[in-house]
Every structure is written in structure tokens, then in C-alpha cells.
Structure 1
Amino acid sequence: MNRMSLGVQSFDTKVRQAVGRIDDGETVFSHLQELLSYNQCAVVIDLMYGLPYQTMDVWHKDVETLVESGIDGADLYQLNVFEHSDLNLAIQRGKRPPAAPTQVQSAMFSFGKNYLDAQGYKRLSFCHWARNNRERSLYNTQARFGTHLFPFGCGAGGHVDGLSTMLDRRLPAYEKAIDEGRKPMMFLMNQSPNAHLKEDIQGQMNQSRLDLDKLIQREEKPASMEFLGPLSEDYGLWKHNGYLYQLTEAGQFWQVNMTQTLLESVNHLMGEETEIQHRRIAAQG
């Protein structure tokens, strides 16, 4: 084992317990220090912004504690409160305060990004930072570019030679299949014939950039997407640097939505089954 990634979400005890995390922040910090003391693998955590009770001051403290902890890397993820989730039901029933609205989440993302940049962390993707060279996040980076990946272990996913697979996510079922000499696959399927286009888009957007001109030159049909370049630039989501589009800070905040729009456009233009829906992406404002 050379890397451990843990979903801390927040170091604030009240925030943690509001979303079902049992340990208090001090205990989590102590466990991270113990894990680091072994000096055996890269230690990485996830933090979320926009959680109930997580004010801007609490978020500042979360990111500062991340740096103080000395861990090797971190993801900063936006909270999405989906309409039928347990968290949204708790909010509707008054058992939890509302999550931060999108405008506040955007400010939280901006602070986290700029603070880690100022502290000398290396940006590995639109939402992932590394403190040192022990954390490279190769799986997350290469998977989006379509690199051949052989999955190993419960819940692992990968793709090889045009086939995508995921191993069973349920540990008892995974172990049972192994004991019975069966391959513990949840699914095995052919990738889309246009997977190379989609992987290129996902990989580049994960790095906060997109060479739209080169993408259009490779395939005739996606040429209809050309208008998205100046349109998204007008909205301030990316800026053309003379060679390609680079996502602005606002574009990095909306990266997931922008990438999904591009992928849906490719599906439509290449004749694949498409379902484009206009709806709220989450229950918060």
C-alpha cells in the first residue's frame, strides 16, 4: 500500500457530526498525525465546503488545519445536497440548517484554492493539491485520459482495450466470489466508440484546460461545438490564451457542469443516445 485517502470532510466537530461523522475533529487530527508518523505511504484527505454549520470562518479553519496537519495532499469538493438525500430530508424537517448556497460555496472554493496555492501546494487537477512529490494522484489523472487500468480490489474500476469494468462494491459479495473462484465483477461492458473523444475532454478539463480547436480538427462532427468556445469565454468560464482555453477560477468551480455539457454535446453530435435535461443540480440555492 503506497497511498491512503480518507474522507475527513471537515475538522470541525459540530460540522462533522451534523453529517454523520462520529469522531470529533481533535481525534481525526490525532489519527492523521499517527498515520503520518509511520512514514510508510502518502496520506491524502478529502475536505468538503458548503456543509451545514460550516460558515466561512469554519471553512478557513478547515483549510488552515489541513496545511497544519502536514499531510501529503487533499481534494476540495463542493457539497451537493440532492433532493431525495437523507441530508436534504433532515434540512427540510428542521433537524439541520441549510447548506451554503452556491454563491457562498464559490467564495469557499476561491479561498481554498488561493490559500493552498499561496502555501506552495502543487495543483494536480481542478480540485486536487499535493504538498510534496509523494502525492501524485496518478490513478485519478490517468483514468480520465483513458490509460489502460487493471482494477484490483473491492469497488475498483478500470478499462482495457475498449472494455470497461468495475469489481463488486459490496465487500461480502466480493469475498464470496473470490472464495468460489468467480471473477467478482459488477459489470463488464464495451466502451463507447467515441470514448477517445470523451476521455480527451475529461482529461483536459480535469487539468483546467481544453484545446477545442484540436478536438474539432480530429473529428468532423464536433465542429458544431465551436461556438461553445467564445460563449463560455463571454460568461467568464475560460479564456483563450492563443493556443487553447484555460479555465478561469469561476470555470474551475463549475468544471463538473462544463465537462458534462461537453460530453452530452459529443453524444448528440456523434449520434449516440442523448438525454439533456434542464433541472436543478442540487437542492441548495
Structure 2
Amino acid sequence: MTTPFINGNSKRTEAVYVHIPFCTNKCFYCDFNSYVLKGQPVMDYLQALEREMEMTVKASPPGVIKSIFVGGGTPTVLKPKEMEYFLKIVRDHFPEWDNNIEFSMEANPGTTDLEKLSVMREGGVNRVSFGVQAFQNDLLTGIGRIHNTDDVYRSLENAKKAGFDNMSIDLMFGLPNQTVDMLSESVTKALELGLPHYSIYSLKVEENTLFHTLYQKNQLPLPDEEAELNMYLLLMNRMKEAGYKQYEISNFAKPGFESKHNMTYWLNEDYYGLGAGAHGYVGRQRHMNIKGVNPYVEAVKSGLPRLDSYDISPEEAMEDFLMVGLRVLDGISRTRFEQQFNTSLDVVFARPLHKMVNAGLLDATDDGYKLSEQGILFGNEVFAEFIGSLSGN
């Protein structure tokens, strides 16, 4: 049995990620492991998920679960009965929940009627993250989204009726044909909703997407670098003025509503990864599951459906601690680093830390380091300093 290692102690895993790979259509920018729902063996997949859960908790028993995150695809394309079954198997295999558990599910506007949201709430989900992306219908059509702004308001109203008060929406900037004024309008309309959490990401043109094909042909009308920088500055200022803390490069929350599950990743803590194409990190070992739906279903019949699994060296774990931890704007803790690795942060990373502080991209804190105001704008340059700095890659 694998014994998870965290903060220098044996500690059972307390976070769960589950992947539902189905969606109504493939967005033009999406490179996630997702498949159009029509004709897919949904119940076969959910039963395979149950088998993976059973084998996973047998190999590495869970602790008291503090966060569950269901991503995709679009988990809310499940029909109410399928959703009910899915939530039951999660509860069956991860039965001990923290009193303040955060149980999040991603949702697309237009796939969340009141019946389905009620099933979700009754099954233990207490946080919904809606993929809104923009408040201009032309922009939504241009990125392959099937919802419109009316669907957004209807879905949020349904969620309130079903008993949800912890909701988040995703917005995107740097989209084709998007202007700074368009983003400003989207931020205004998002803030009018008064939600406790917002995630606002810049578009990344990923391989194996329609946008990548168009980009290669010089047919993707993206904003220029100056416009994209102005978009980011605008959203940071607007969110701050509205009383939201930017607790991570792309995430803003009212106090106490920071995403617990995402903090698991950014604090480099253990989490189970379940489902087709899911990644997990337990006991200093990372894994990635088989991606295809039918290959995943078949693989689970004979064991854990691993595509790849490998141990993380102490050096790589330390680099990961820096790279993901610095995404959080409170920064990295010298104390946590020393508890986890029994060595000194300032000694191990003396060169890159010194370089980034001198460049004005990192600030020293009482217990570690954090991105400076300039560093927030050039985070990728900071993170790159730590990639391979110990492992020699």
C-alpha cells in the first residue's frame, strides 16, 4: 500500500478529483480530455468509475475528505438519474467528509435545469462553477460555446432555487475579436451578480484544437500583447475595487470563499485523480489515467486504468512546491517547505530566488517569498526559473 507523504508525516489523502469526460460539443479552444456526449456509454463509464474508486481506496485508504471537485467535459450533461448514481458512488467510497467540505462541480449554462441542480444539492454538491467565459453572445459563438447570456442568468437563478449559495463563474480574456471594453462589460455584468468567487483566465492556444489550426494559418484575430496586458490590469483593478481578493494569479474571492480544492494543487498536497485522463498525486507518486472512454472502461476490468505512473524525486517535488506555490499571491512559506522536505528553502533555491528578487519579480516576506506586483504580470518567467533548477532538466 502507498503511504501518502505530506509535511513530513504520513497523512491520508483528503482531496478527490473526478473527471466526467462528456460534453454537448467541443469548444474551439478546448484541449481537455472530453468527448461529445451523443452515443457515449455513460452508464458503463460511471460503473467503471465506481470500480476505479473501489480499487483506489483499497490501495490507499482516504482520510476525512476536505474537498471534492468534479470536472470535465461538462459533468452537468449527466441526466438526473445518472447524476444521482454518480453522487451515490462518490459518497459510498469516500464516506467520511469534513464538516466544512467543499464539493464543487463544473457546469455549463444551459445544462443545469432545476431538477438536475436539486439532485446535485441533495447528493452533497455545495459549490457550482459555471463556465460563462463572456457576456457577449457574438464572442460566445466565436469560441464555440452553445450557451448565451440568457442561459447564464437562468442557470444561476435555478442554482439559487436549488439551495446553492457558493457559486463561481469563469471568464476569459484575450479571446478572438475581444476588446478591452468588451472585457470591462463582462466584468461589470459578472460583478453585478455578487457571487463569492470568480476565475478569470487568459486564452491559451493549445495544440489539437480548432483555434490552433486557425492560428497556424494566421486566421485567428487575437488581441495584441498590449491589449491583453491592459485586459489583465483592468480585471485586477476592477476586482480589487469591488472587494475581491486576488488570491491566485487567475482567481478572485470574497474572504473565506477561496477554492479549497485548487489550493490543494497550489500547496502541492495529495489528491486522488479518478476517471478517464485524470491526473492524481498520492504518496509522492503522480499518475495519469487512460484517456479514451471505451479504453478506460475496458482497462478498469483488470486493474487501475493507468496510462502512466511515476515516482516524484525530492528535487522535482521541491521544484513543484515553488512553481505551483508562487501562483498563490500570499506566496510560499519557508516553514511549510522545511516541514515537508526537512531542508532550507533559502539554501536549496538560493540562486533563482536571489535572481528573481533582484529582478524585482519576487518579494521577500516574513516567512518566504511571493510574486511582486511586476511578478504577477510575468509569472511564467518566474516559474520557468525553477523548472529543472535542481533536477537538471
Shorter-chain TM-score: which interval? 0.7 to 0.9
Q: How far did residue 123 of structure 1 move?
A: 2.9
Indicate which of 238, 245, 265 corresponds to 2:362. Answer: 238
Contact 2:319/2:388 (8 A) holds in 1:
no
Say which structure, 1 or 2, has more relative contact order (CA 8 Å, 6+ apart).
2
Q: Which has the higher strand share?
A: 2
1:195 pairs with 2:322: no
Shift of the alpha carbon at 1:11?
1.8
Q: Distance in 2 between matches of 1:39 and 1:167?
A: 34
Cα-Cα RMSD: 3.1
SS at 1:47 equivalent: strand
Q: Which range is displaced more, 87-96 or 66-75?
A: 87-96
The corresponding residue for 1:140 is 262
What are the equivalent positions in structure 2 for 1:1-285 lying under 5 Å apart? 1-40=125-164, 42-82=166-206, 85-90=209-214, 96=220, 98-131=221-254, 133=256, 135-178=257-300, 180=301, 182-208=303-329, 209-210=331-332, 217-218=344-345, 222-233=349-360, 237-240=361-364, 244-268=368-392, 274=393
Residue aligned with 1:90, SS? helix
Between the aligned partners of 2:306 and 2:127, the Cα distance in structure 1 is 24
Deviations 1:20-43 (CA, angstroms, capped at 9, x unpaired): 112222223322332233224732
- Runs of 4 or more, structure 1, over 6 Å off, are none
Gaps of 5+ in 1: 269-273, 275-285
Instruction: Output the TM-score relative to the length of structure 1.
Output: 0.77
User: C-alpha distance in 2, partners of 1:220/1:255?
Assistant: 22
Tell me the percent identity.
Answer: 22
With over 3 angstroms needed to count, the CA separation of the structure-2 counterparts of 1:39 and 1:256, relative to structure 1, is: farther
Offset at residue 146 of structure 1 (A): 2.4
Unaligned ranges ≥5, structure 2: 1-124
Displacement of 1:56 in angstroms is: 0.8
Normalised by the length of structure 2, the TM-score is 0.58
Aligned 8 A contact 1:144 1:199 in 2: no
Mapped to 2, the partners of 1:171 and 1:132 lie a distance apart of 39
SS in 1 for 2:189: helix
What is the number of residues matched between the two proteins?
A: 263
In structure 1, the residue corresponding to 2:310 is in which secondary structure?
strand
Could you tell me which residue of structure 1 aligns to residue 81 of structure 2? none
